[in-house]
Amino acid sequence: MELKAVSSRHLWICIFLAFFNVADALFTHYFLQNGGVELNPLMRTIYEMHPLLFITIKFLFSLLVLAIGLIPLRRKIQRLIAFAFSVYFVIISWQLFLLITHVKTG
């Protein structure tokens, strides 16, 4: 079996995906502390158990994503990770919009 090198594109996507996940954790915590609602039922349940548990899980998931960035993966899995990156990009963009409008009106 031939070992393939990790593409730099795959690595960078994983780095940014991990960063977006951490940012999502922090933004979500901020919004929930200020009257927001977590739309993801699983993460809402975890947050209701304890906010620190929520943040810890999000940070651990980010570390996992960084580790995945160092592993050569099949093209299909890389596409799935790129799709997740796109979804998180939209989520973070929305959260930044909410944060900016909240700061202006708050």
Ordered by start, the domain boundaries in the chain are 8-105
- What's the pLDDT at 4? 64
Per-residue pLDDT tens over the stretch 21-55: 999 999 999 999 999 999 999 999 999 999 999 99
Q: Which pTM was predicted?
A: 0.84
- What's the pLDDT at 95? 95
Burial class (CB in 10 A: 0-12, 13-18, 19+), 69: buried
Q: What is the Cα–Cα distance from 42 to 87, expressed in whole angstroms?
A: 17
Per-residue pLDDT tens over the stretch 58-105: 999 999 999 999 998 888 888 999 999 999 999 999 999 999 987 666
- What's the pLDDT at 59? 98
Is pLDDT above 60 for 106?
no
